[in-house]
Amino acid sequence: MAQVLEFRLPDLGEGLTEAEIVRWLVQVGDVVAVDQPVVEVETAKAMVEVPCPYSGVVTARFGEEGAELPVGAPLLTVAVGEPAAGGDSGGSGNVLVGYGTSEAPARRRRVRSTTVANGQARQPAPAAPAPTRADGPVPVISPLVRRLAREGGVDLRQLSGSGPDGLILRADVEGALRAKAATAAPAQEPARAATAPRGGIRIPLKGVRGAVADKLSRSRREIPEATCWVDADATELMRARAAMNAAGGPKISLLALLARVCTAALARFPELNSFVDTEAREVVQLEQVHLGFAAQTDRGLVVPVVRDAHARDAESLTAEFARLTEAARAGTLTPGELTGGTFTLNNYGVFGVDGSTPIINHPEAAMLGVGRIVPKPWVHEGELAVRQVVQLSLTFDHRVCDGGTAGGFLRYVADCVEQPAVLLRTL
């Protein structure tokens, strides 16, 4: 006698409500071990491998690759054997490796008894779709699905969900919207066809790209931002870095030196290491500097966060930037590594451009932008010379400070770039 345990899509943290199945790592009939990854999913934050908390035989999978599932929807079922001595039922209790080890809530486990003959687990009978109701509860878990239906004028009570137990999924609502559009006012079709764009490629705003779009839009709506900028002679900073790397030991990146400048400047101008609590109408200044940095990947722009950047030296910062950048390109950053930043450093100079007016990474209060460092004519010690010049820009939330504070911060950063010895006064 064995039990069939249902493993549901766990809460992946950071307020995420759904995930897209990217790749199944197991097949029906496979034997899985406790905490073995069984599926790779993509959330609005990152790609995540989801481990199964049970050991046994996979009897069913729910959802094809490319399908979106809400948190709490069934992922798979596993037939497990009799409990071992001491009460071990073949489950670890882990919901997701790296996101805490706690017993999964009872509502996320549904236990059904079935027999296993000749080592083959019997497939559970598929659940019948929920009947259409004129009243009563609607089988929808995801708030995003409810919002999509509400904005599109779709009555959820008239839909039969395609998910397990009749659960209404996003695809069901989108199908209803397409059907609604196809049957609406045929006479208007020629007029629309004359003005509609033809041959365009539609790219869904979902996953990481969708999350970035939502966050940038929110930043522009809520934050009254302003930008100031200054050109700086980075020749001495480049020489200092070359001397450090010539001395042996781990190489120091330019980004790490700029990060050290940022943390020193934030110590002098803490107003910029803050956020606005709109409900309380308060500016909250933060003690720790969790430094975000923009990283371009094949999956879009992400902003990994270096925790406690103010307590790290240049060598430690270099190593952490390299680790997070590699994880970003591989798509293995965890939600915790993509959230919680207090200030962002944006080195857009790597794209070969001089300046930019970036959008603040909500809910932070400021972002320092760094352009490319290129040889330019510059007056140095009263003489015209060719120097390594960089444009620095600071975009800031005008609610947290005025131009004097922002200008003071940017001027201090420029002074450190031009004369790295200035930075020694803060060490």
DSSP-based helix, strand, coil % in the chain, nearest 5: 30, 25, 40
Detail the DSSP E strand segments found in 68-138: 68-70, 74-80, 111-114, 116-117, 120-121
What backbone phi and psi angles, to 5 degrees, belong to 32? -115, 150
Per-residue pLDDT at 142: 56
Burial of 411 (0-12, 13-18, 19+ CB in 10 A): middle
CA-wise closest residue to 164 among 79, 42, 23, 69: 69
3-state secondary structure of 19: strand
Tens-digit pLDDT profile for residues 99-152: 333 333 333 333 333 334 333 444 443 433 433 444 455 676 555 676 677 778
CATH number for the domain formed by residue range(s) 126-181 = 4.10.320.10
Please give the structure tokens belonging to residue 183.
């049957």
Question: Residue 207: how many CB atoms within 10 A of its CB?
Answer: 20
Question: Residue 210: how many CB atoms within 10 A of its CB?
Answer: 13
Per-residue pLDDT at 141: 53
N- to C-terminal Cα separation, the chain? 67
Q: How far apart are CA 392 and CA 186, in angstroms?
A: 55
Question: Residue 191: how many CB atoms within 10 A of its CB?
Answer: 10
The helix (H) or strand (E) run that includes residue 182 is helix 170-182
Q: How far apart are CA 123 and CA 114, in angstroms?
A: 9
Burial of 28 (0-12, 13-18, 19+ CB in 10 A): middle
Per-residue pLDDT at 42: 80
3-state secondary structure of 230: strand
Residues 136/158, Cβ–Cβ less than 8 Å = no
CA-wise closest residue to 36 among 83, 84, 97: 97
Q: Which residues are catalytic?
A: 398, 402
3-state secondary structure of 69: strand
Q: How far apart are CA 309 and CA 220, in angstroms?
A: 27
| Number of residues written out for the chain | 427
Please give the structure tokens belonging to residue 207.
């996953």
Q: How far apart are CA 352 and CA 348, in angstroms?
A: 8
pLDDT tens track of the chain, all 427 residues?
Answer: 678 999 999 877 655 678 888 889 999 999 999 889 999 888 766 777 888 988 999 999 998 888 888 888 999 999 997 444 344 545 554 444 333 333 333 333 333 333 343 334 444 434 334 334 444 556 765 556 766 777 788 888 888 888 767 778 777 888 888 888 777 655 454 444 445 456 688 888 877 677 778 888 999 999 999 999 999 999 999 999 999 999 888 999 999 999 999 999 999 999 999 999 999 999 999 999 999 998 888 777 789 999 999 999 999 999 999 999 999 888 888 888 988 999 999 999 989 999 988 899 999 999 999 999 999 999 999 999 999 999 999 999 999 999 999 999 999 999 999 999 887 765 5
Tens-digit pLDDT profile for residues 243-302: 999 988 899 999 999 999 999 999 999 999 999 999 999 999 999 999 999 888 877 778
Residues 262/291, Cβ–Cβ less than 8 Å = yes
CATH number for the domain formed by residue range(s) 2-121 = 2.40.50.100
3-state secondary structure of 209: helix
Domain boundaries, the chain: 2-121, 126-181, 224-424
3-state secondary structure of 45: coil
Per-residue pLDDT at 10: 85
Per-residue pLDDT at 15: 59
CATH number for the domain formed by residue range(s) 224-424 = 3.30.559.10
Per-residue pLDDT at 262: 96
Cβ neighbors of 198 (< 8 A, separation 6 or more) are: none
Rounded (10°) angle between helices 403-418 and 254-268? 140
